Structure 1
Amino acid sequence: MASKKLIRAGVSLELCERLKRHHVESCKDLLSLTPLEVMWMVGLNYQEALLLLKSVSGRIAPLMTTALELWRRNAELYFSTSLPAVDKLLRGGLLCGTITEVTGPSGCGKSQLCMMLSVLATLPKSMGGLDKAVIYIDTESAFSAERLVEIARNRFPEYFSSKERLLQMAGRVHLFRELTCQDVLNRLEKLEENIISNRAGLVILDSVASVIRKEFDISLPGNLWNRNIMLGQEASTLKYLAHGFHIPVVLTNQITTHMRHRGSAPSGEKDSEIVTAALGNTWSHAVTTRLIVQYADRHQKQIVIAKSPMAPFAVLNYTIQKEGICLSGGDNQHTLCEGTDPSLQPIRVQTEFDDNLTQSSLSADWSLL
């Protein structure tokens, strides 16, 4: 909260401009000053400087609430995914004010889900949307405006029957392509202003792992430490934005191979490799909700709720159609028996169910976009 811009802490625009000349822009910057320094910078008397510091301090102090108040505000706590069975398990949808991670192998529809959520966020509240804009940070050049429009047309054909509404929806999805770790961090640090100026209600980072894994070879000395520092900065900023604006933040993650040592494998099996979420156990604790998308068979994929503060450990089958993610089997789901640790949950990839499955056999599948 200390990173909040002064204008959002009730400081007048005139005082903000005066302080900005001295490189004081956030609440943290101001509260690190003495009353005498504030007097000199903005031309206030001693009592006015004290009052300013006290006011800003009070604005960023964590507010006390009760479980009863949260319960009464239940409808405002969630962002619907438009997938009834997923929303039911998550007690309403994606939890606002927190980070939701979607991880899984390439081709399972992570970016498809992000584009679908982008469409949903722009919808009127009467249709389950947020009636807000979207900040979409693309690090893999996976975003497709054509696919965004196709999802909108096919998922909500009546609402998006007019070209005007389609153009309005597309104009509310603000895309930033950042291809290095420093670019991503710089963008996140500026995101507060972007959210305010664009009236954004959803932030998407697709993906958090892409640039990190390219730039940090953790086999080299010191790189693991530096990578974790970078990830910590990104997680801290995203958590602040989610909490400060009470909006859902969605990010995608990649997969990696993890060696499961003897004794940790079921029934005392020999050492074996499993595919699991990338970026390690520390990063796993930074996200509130983790959804795993994986292969079920040649035709279907699965959403696994691997980590959630309120949902059971569950799996649902889905396919990817012109309208985006479509669940199979209605509200049916079952809990998984193996691997309750979200940081080491095994993830199914193509070769596990059909060694002959090739990329060309899925060429017509929208999941490859």
Structure 2
Amino acid sequence: MSKNSIDPNEKIIEELDINPRIAAAAQRNGYTTSWNILISSCSELQQKTGLSANDVDQLMCAVASYIVKPPLLPLNFPCSIGDTSEVSYVSSGCNAIDNILKGGIPFRGITEITGQSGSGKTQVGLQLALRAQLPKHLGGFDKCVAYICTESQFPAARLQQMVVAFHRKKLIPKKPFTDNLLIHHIPDMDSLADCVQYQLPVLVKKRDVGLLIIDSIAAVFRVEEAGEDSRYKTLQTLGYRLHKLAMTYNVAVLAINQVTSALSAHNFFGIEGDIVPALGLSWANLVTTRLMISKTNKCFRVNKRLNGNLDTREYRIRKIQVISCPWLSKASCNYLVTEDGVEDLQLNNGDIVFAHQ
């Protein structure tokens, strides 16, 4: 079997280009396949094999090099930033959002969605996680989705509510939505960086992952007690690995980010107001497409017939804007988050009213 089509459960430890001492320690403790090595954390491998941190790093790099074919394109992203003719997109399912993004979330670089708590960032992420699984004739890519949670439990109940709405609209994938949604909780920055370098490349190949969502990118860096220098280096490493993953495997990467207070109303991020995306310029320079979500001061009032009764509902109108992107002009649009998910604002179906403060 070639390296390009290796079985993750095949014993490869004796085939690795690595110090025999390291290979023997791994084999002695049952670490013989690419899968059981790469799904383990560095600290776990150290503890169970007695190897040093440097030895474990060599082991994981050797496994990754053995099973992962080299990228077909240079890593100094992007090769031709203005040419989007060959770029594919994951549709948001909302025409207004797709229009300002020229198709949706691109399979190129890192796309960031930032905004205040409660603005609806995760709602967009969940809808994208469902849309990517749809067959191509329904606007999807028939791909698995990897969803990494870093700060709270995955909103399974909300996802199921949206799944019901998708089924009602006849938007049904080949397999059940939950079968192709791979959820993982990662609490710290080092584990996140290791996951992106070692575990995700194997998972992408094994399960045909087309979309990676990290919710949220800032959480693991804000809670760390490590110094600024350590955080900066890990953030830079993570960004590089995400770009490499996106380019090598044609994976769309969505990073959901938090916001922090701005020092002035006009700041170097090109955003007017009293908030800016978290993680500063060190992260901003790694982001390819930056989007910001906010709530407006208006609601959309609509009459819905539920269980045979006419019910009046009000939904806060949301705004998404393109802050920066090499191939997109600055633009914004309004949309709604309803029980069914992220939807277009259809003015002929209701009335706009001011929100109750």
Q: TM-score, normalised by structure 2?
A: 0.68
State the Cα RMSD in Å. Answer: 3.7
Q: Distance in 2 between matches of 1:240 and 1:137?
A: 18
Match of 1:229 in 2: 233
Q: By how many angstroms is 1:73 displaced?
A: 3.4
Match of 1:127 in 2: 138
Paired amino acid for 2:151: E
- Does residue 98 in structure 1 map to residue 109 in structure 2? yes
Q: Deviations over 1:126-164 (max 9, x none)?
A: 111110111110012242222112112214414368xxx
Q: Deviations over 1:78-130 (max 9, x none)?
A: 22222222222222221103211000001011111111111111111111111
- Conserved in 1, the CA contact under 8 Å of 2:113 and 2:292? yes
- Conserved in 2, the CA contact under 8 Å of 1:155 and 1:324? no
Match of 1:117 in 2: 128
Aligned residues: 281
Structure 1 residues 59 and 140, CA gap change in structure 2 (3 angstroms): closer
Q: Deviations over 1:220-251 (max 9, x none)?
A: xx822221111111111111111111110001
Structure 2 unaligned residues grouped into runs of 5+: 24-32, 35-66, 300-316, 348-353
**Which has a greater percent of helix?**
1
Query: Taking every aligned residue pair, what percent have the same amino acid on both sides?
Result: 27
Q: Deviations over 1:276-324 (max 9, x none)?
A: 1111012111111111001211532211111122222111112210121
Q: Distance in 1 between matches of 2:189 and 2:85?
A: 40
- Does residue 18 in structure 1 map to residue 22 in structure 2? no
- Conserved in 2, the CA contact under 8 Å of 1:317 and 1:329? no
Paired amino acid for 1:73: E
- Conserved in 1, the CA contact under 8 Å of 2:114 and 2:293? yes
Structure 1 residues 194 and 273, CA gap change in structure 2 (3 angstroms): same
- Conserved in 2, the CA contact under 8 Å of 1:111 and 1:142? no
Pick one of 308, 314, 327 that aligns with 2:331: 314
- Conserved in 2, the CA contact under 8 Å of 1:9 and 1:59? no
**Which has a greater percent of strand?**
2
- Conserved in 1, the CA contact under 8 Å of 2:115 and 2:121? yes
- Conserved in 1, the CA contact under 8 Å of 2:100 and 2:332? no
User: Where do residues 285-364 of structure 1 align in structure 2 (5 Å cutoff)?
Assistant: 285-299=285-299, 300-328=317-345, 357=357
Structure 1 unaligned residues grouped into runs of 5+: 1-5, 27-55, 217-221, 266-271, 331-352, 358-369
Match of 1:188 in 2: 196
Q: Distance in 2 between matches of 1:17 and 1:197?
A: 22
- Conserved in 1, the CA contact under 8 Å of 2:73 and 2:248? no
Q: By how many angstroms is 1:166 displaced?
A: 9.5
- Does residue 143 in structure 1 map to residue 139 in structure 2? no
SS in 2 for 1:106: coil
Paired amino acid for 2:276: T
